[in-house]
Amino acid sequence: MGSDLVKSGLSKAPHRSLWKASGLTNEEIERPFIGVVNMFNEIVPGHVNLKEITEAVKRGVLMAGGTPLEFPGIAVCDGIAMNHEGMKYSLASRELITDSIETMTVAHGLDGLVIIPNCDKTVPAALMAAARINIPAIIVSGGPMLAGRHENTNVDLITVFEAIGAVTANTMDNDELETLENHACPTCGSCAGMFTANSMNCMTEALGMALPGNGTIPAVYSERKRLAKLSGMRIMDLVRENIRPRDILTKEAFNNALAVDMALGCSTNTVLHLTAIANEAEVGMDLKTINEISQKTPNLCKLSPAGVYHIQELDAVGGISAVMKELDRKGLIDKTVMTVSGNVGNKIEKVVRNETKIIASVDNPYSKTGGIQILFGSLAPDGAVVKKAAVAEEMMNIIGVAKVYESEEDAVEAILGKKIHPGDCIVIQYEGPKGGPGMREMLTPTSALVGMGLDRQVSLITDGRFSGGTRGAAIGHVSPEACEGGPIAYVKDGDRIIINIIDGILELDVSQEEMMYRKLNTELKKVTYKGYLGKYARSVTSASTGAICR
C-alpha cells in the first residue's frame, strides 16, 4: 500500500506516533488510508450540504474496512463572483484546488481518494487531481439544486440574471424581481439547469469516475446520501483491485463523455475542462476532435437555459445512463469502457426509458448535431466555442457590426445604457486566461441581452468565457486572445463579423492590408497583477488548450 511509506516498519515509528496523536488506533493505522476531500464551506450554496455527504462517505469507507481521513478543499461560487473582480479567481481556482489535493495526498501517503466537489471549478479540479496523482479514486458530488417556482413556472438562478434586463427594459418592476429572487434558488445544491457545475457532474459520470446518479440526483434527496455511502464503500474495492483513474480515463472514455456532452447541450466550459482533464490523464484531445464528435452526435436534451426542463426531471427519466443508452442505439457509446462500477455496458443495460420530451429519441432529436460547436476563421485561428443548442435559429448565420469594449464592465454599461441595437456584435477584448487574467464568465451581459429581448438580434464575442447559463449567439474562448496579439485585439467599431455557427465559421471581414496596418499601429493592453492572479497569468496557456498551467 502507498500508506506503508508513512506507517510501516521500524523507521516509521515516529510517523505512527503522529498518527496516534491524531487519535488513530493501531487497528485504524493497519487499514488502507482513504483521503476524503470535503469541499464544504458556508459561502457556496452547492457546498453547504457537503458535511452530510462527507459523513456518509466516511461511513461507507468504515463499513468496507478502510480508515477515512478528511481534509478540506476550497470552492468559488461563480454566481456570487459574477461581474466583478472576484470572477478572475474562478477559473484560476481550478489549478489551486488540483494542486492542493495533490499536495495533501502525496505528502501523507494515502491509498485512495473520495473527492466531494459540486460547483463549477471544483469538479474538473477533482478529476484533474485524480488523473494526475493516479491512485484509486472516486468522485461523488453534492448534487443539483431543485428548480424554484414563480408564477406557476419553473425558475432558477439564470431567471434572476435575465430579470435584470427585464427591469431595465421596464417589463418587470422591482417588487416582482424581489419575489423572483426569493423563490429562484429554493434549496442547496449546484444551480438547477445544465449550467457548468451540473454539466461537469454529468461529465464525471459519463467519464466513468462516479457511480450512476452522480450527475442528476438532487442534493436534498436521501438517495444522494446513499450514493455517498456506496461511493465510500466502492473506493475500498478500487483500492483492493488497484483500479486507477488512468485505467478509466482513456481516449474512449473521453469520446463517450463528449458524446454525452453534445446530447445534453452542456456548458461551453466543458470544452475547457475536458481538455484540461485529458491533459492530466495524458490522453490527446483537441478542438477538432470535439467538432468531429459534435457533427455525428444528436442533441437530445433541451435543459435550462436551452429549454424548460431541469436536472431533477432528467434524473426522473433515468439520468445520464438513459442518455448513454439512447446514444448507444446509434452506436455512439463504447460499452467496453471501464468505470468505477464495471463497464459502461453493464451500467446502461437495465435502464428503461419511455420519455421522449426530456430525452428525445435519436430518431427524432432536437438537432442532428451536438449542442456545442467549435468555430474557426480569421477572427479565431485557434478556435472559439458556442453553445449551439441555446442559440435561436435566426442567429445561426449572420453578419454583425462590431461594437468593441475592453472589459466586461464596459460592455454591461453599454447594454444597460441602451447603447446596443439589433444587428450589433458586441466584442469584449482582454478577458482571456492571461489578459483577464482568469477568463471571466460573461453571464451578466448575455443575461441582460435576453432580459431586454435582444438575444435574437445581437451577438457577443469574447476571448473570455460564458456561464453554462448563457443563451444566445454568445461566442467565447476566442483564441489566440487579445493580450497575446490575437486578431480579436485589432477589431474596431463598425467592422463586419461573419458568424456561421452551422458550418463553424468566425471571420473578421477586414483586408489583410488593413489588419497589417492595425497590428503595426495598435498598442496591446498590458495589466500586471500581483499575488495568486499574477502567478496564474504567468503560467496559464491558451483557452484552445484548456487554459492549463505550465
CA atoms within 13 A on the CB side of 124: 30
Note the Cα 525 to chain centre separation in Å. Answer: 29
3-class SS shares of the chain: helix, strand, coil, % to 5 = 45, 15, 40
Contacts of 404 (CB under 8 A, 6+ apart): 427, 429, 491, 492, 493
Nearest to 310 by CA among 189, 453, 472: 189
8 Å CB contact between 475 and 385: yes
Other CB atoms closer than 10 Å to residue 530's CB: what's the count? 7
- Catalytic position from the list 3, 199, 294, 467: 467
Give how far Cα 438 sits from Cα of 252, 435, 476, 529, Å.
30, 8, 13, 11
Bridge partners, 303 (sequence order): 309
Other CB atoms closer than 10 Å to residue 353's CB: what's the count? 17
8 Å CB contact between 40 and 147: no
Query: Which string of b and e fits 147-156 if b means at least 16 CB within 10 Å?
Result: bbebeeebbb
d(CA 239, CA 268) in angstroms, rounded, equals: 34
Other CB atoms closer than 10 Å to residue 485's CB: what's the count? 13
8 Å CB contact between 67 and 103: no
8 Å CB contact between 268 and 372: yes
State whether residue 102 is helix, strand or coil. Answer: helix
Active site residue 467: yes
d(CA 325, CA 348) in angstroms, rounded, equals: 6
DSSP string, 381-403: EEEEEE-GGGS-GGGSEEEEEEE
Nearest to 204 by CA among 319, 294, 124: 124
d(CA 531, CA 403) in angstroms, rounded, equals: 33
Residue 287 phi, psi (nearest 5): -65, -30
8 Å CB contact between 451 and 165: yes
Query: Which string of b and e fits 52-77 if b means at least 16 CB within 10 Å?
Result: bbbbbbbbbbbebebbbbbeebbbbb
Q: Which helix (H) or strand (E) holds 178?
A: helix 174-183
Looking at the annotation, which residues are catalytic? 467
